[in-house]
Structure 1
């Protein structure tokens, strides 16, 4: 059952109260909504958003299925889980919290893993301290304000000081209703000298929707903490997307990203890591596949304030049909970040005459005693590689398949859950290999 309403302050207040959110969150929502008309839209490089579906927003209330156990989950969710070893899992069905599994050992250590609304109700002060205060600000632009006003799902993770979580925490969002807007907010906080690996999957089981995707993830790593963040996004055509994933790393902290961005809708992606502390580091790996008439814009940046900080970016994309992409990679070393190291590589393969990929490496350096470098390319599959493989009896299509798999392997291989690796490999096969 679903109901759709025009968005207004009364609807926002009613929704917030229905989720038992604290008064501060209700106030954040109302203030963000009231300021929408005074805040400008984002201005992604070389991409005009005038005709993108960010302007017509409805509030849809969905009663989606919940599940009593991992065994009861639908097959589309089970296929991205390592069933026998999954200890910590959150499943969201459209906007409904559908299943939460947390190991008793973690709970005994003070680890918090809860859907975002429950976390706000039960750990109000802790969530308030970090919710859109450091990594992302409510008033950055109209879409961040819209997210704050209409946030309708997501997850909160808090890892206490000195706690090292051995098994990954996994979140799966199952999208199977064409009217559902996904405004998920993921907030991960790792306290001093803690460690956590988080993997998320976004899955559509319908072919097309007409809705908005407005996701924000905030990743906060305190002194000497380490956060590894992996994702496979595979949502359907017609979900117009604005996705922000950002990290803030303190002294000696590490934030590593492995992102498989496979959505079929037009999408703006902003992935930024702030290396605030000395000796902090971030390794960012992204693979993208575009098809049909998709328009994709990716801004990935590591901004380095800390001395001896290290920021490495690797982005590989494959465009087919009439898909187009813009890859802006930014390494920014701020004044005072002596001995910092900023490296990046952006490469795009185009598989058809109408596809397009722009790879734009940018280095901004305000300090002298640093190391920095970049590489970028956009072009067709290397004919010499194809010739080498075909000379050994491999067909052209299979040779292209092997080349593309090798091209995307740097991200596939570092995803920390075997089932998620398999999912990404299968998605690549589906999007690219089946019809080169």
Structure 2
């Protein structure tokens, strides 16, 4: 039986759970404050999507999972995603971490890669500096809910001048809809460091029978001269609601790259935002989504420019079939004083059915004269001239349409930095597009 929203988020219950897990006093207080907030403020209000009509009460209850003794003990759906020979892996099952390992060489350089609950106990002073600083817990009910009940999660810290050559990989999976599944991911890349982080958020199809909610937050801090590459694939079942907020704060000459695949079968609220705080800071965001049946998708990508000579590029591509819908919002905001800033965005929706719906909304908000900015948006069906051209080369109509769709999504698929994850993304695309 799913737990109602008001039950796990009253202050007393949230603080009691935090104390039972041995969390530090500052975190206990933060959870209690957030729990009170969650009962008083409203859900986010994305453009043209009434998420309050979704089933948002099935947040479940905290259940500590048993740790795995080896990777071989993890379910097959997890093992097939593990990069061969990886030494940097974290796995969360439902409410907590069950496996984690990091190369000794990285630990020797001061790199921290662990679950966020452990980091709060062992590196509390460091975590406290950043947790809920890019995303405030009082923004709306979603952020407050995550602050009150987040569990497991990921913490990455890369010291100054350290380059992590191999990707850090996390797999977060849900196979019990009665358990709270609400990870919080926090990444800090110190001055002139470099790191690639990739995660997969999945549900076990055999266990995805009951409604569930996945309220998740990602915070990334890119210090001067640092470079963070963040890849994420979400593939959760049709009974679930995925609500994920991602935000990065980029300082002087820092760079963030977002590579996001929203491939859930259930309703999805996805927001990816870069705050270009420093001079010469850059952001490159690539997002794809595929919807089927009556699925609703709200996809928002944002770049807010404060720094001079800052640069942002955003590409969002969605394919909708059956009666699925996608509302895509691209927002470029250039604040006063951000001279020489450049912001470019492109949103495209491909509809494969007469009942499918796509809506691309490019938004430019410019408060400075000495800047460049541009946008492009399109919503339509497969181009019959392209199909005809390929058929004239001896390709069947079905194969021609398939090639066009995969070519449409290729700019994001090709950027996934781990081969096993890229292969999984391709398999997910085939499943959703071809049934």
Shift of 1:326: 0.4
Shift of 1:146: 1.0
Is the 2:12–2:32 contact (alpha carbons within 8 Å) kept by the matching residues of 1? no
Is the 2:259–2:415 contact (alpha carbons within 8 Å) kept by the matching residues of 1? yes
What is the correspondence of 1:270-349 to structure 2 with a 5 Å cutoff?
270-349=271-350
SS of the equivalent of 2:106 reads helix
- The answer for the alignment partner of 1:46 in structure 2 is 48
Shift of 1:181: 3.2
SS of the equivalent of 1:38 reads coil
Distance 2:324 2:425 in 1: 19
What is the correspondence of 1:139-288 to structure 2 with a 5 Å cutoff?
139-206=138-205, 207-288=208-289
SS of the equivalent of 2:299 reads strand
Is the 1:309–1:337 contact (alpha carbons within 8 Å) kept by the matching residues of 2? yes
Distance 1:61 1:270 in 2: 26
**Where does the alignment leave 5 or more consecutive residues of structure 1 unmatched?**
none
Distance 1:187 1:254 in 2: 16
- The answer for the alignment partner of 1:422 in structure 2 is 423
Is the 1:3–1:62 contact (alpha carbons within 8 Å) kept by the matching residues of 2? no
Distance 2:204 2:33 in 1: 35
How many residue pairs end up in the alignment? 430
- The answer for the alignment partner of 1:96 in structure 2 is 96
Residues 59, 30 of structure 1: alpha-carbon distance in 2 compared, 3 angstrom cutoff: farther
Q: Deviations over 1:82-101 (max 9, x none)?
A: 222x1200011112311101
Distance 1:323 1:391 in 2: 31
- The answer for the alignment partner of 2:109 in structure 1 is 109
Distance 1:321 1:127 in 2: 44
Distance 1:298 1:175 in 2: 23
**TM-score, normalised by the number of residues in structure 2:** 0.96
Asked whether 1:385 is paired with 2:369, we answer no
Is the 1:209–1:237 contact (alpha carbons within 8 Å) kept by the matching residues of 2? no
- The answer for the alignment partner of 2:362 in structure 1 is 361
Distance 1:374 1:310 in 2: 14
Residues 38, 178 of structure 1: alpha-carbon distance in 2 compared, 3 angstrom cutoff: closer
Is the 1:209–1:236 contact (alpha carbons within 8 Å) kept by the matching residues of 2? no
Distance 2:147 2:371 in 1: 38
Shift of 1:19: 2.3
Shift of 1:115: 0.7
Q: Deviations over 1:262-305 (max 9, x none)?
A: 01111111111000000000000001001110111111100111
- The answer for the alignment partner of 1:24 in structure 2 is 26
SS of the equivalent of 1:372 reads strand
- The answer for the alignment partner of 2:121 in structure 1 is 121
Distance 1:65 1:405 in 2: 40
- The answer for the alignment partner of 1:34 in structure 2 is 36
Moved more, 340-349 or 144-153: 144-153
SS of the equivalent of 1:62 reads coil
- The answer for the alignment partner of 1:371 in structure 2 is 372
Distance 1:219 1:431 in 2: 30
SS of the equivalent of 2:239 reads strand
Shift of 1:9: 3.1
SS of the equivalent of 2:210 reads strand
SS of the equivalent of 2:153 reads strand
Distance 1:209 1:388 in 2: 46
Distance 1:44 1:61 in 2: 29
Distance 1:175 1:308 in 2: 42
Residues 174, 35 of structure 1: alpha-carbon distance in 2 compared, 3 angstrom cutoff: closer
Distance 1:378 1:4 in 2: 40
Shift of 1:11: 2.6
Distance 1:290 1:406 in 2: 17
Is the 1:278–1:306 contact (alpha carbons within 8 Å) kept by the matching residues of 2? yes
Q: Deviations over 1:377-409 (max 9, x none)?
A: 000011111111112222221111111111000
Distance 1:404 1:57 in 2: 35
Is the 1:13–1:26 contact (alpha carbons within 8 Å) kept by the matching residues of 2? yes
Distance 1:416 1:48 in 2: 35
Is the 1:20–1:117 contact (alpha carbons within 8 Å) kept by the matching residues of 2? no
Asked whether 1:395 is paired with 2:396, we answer yes
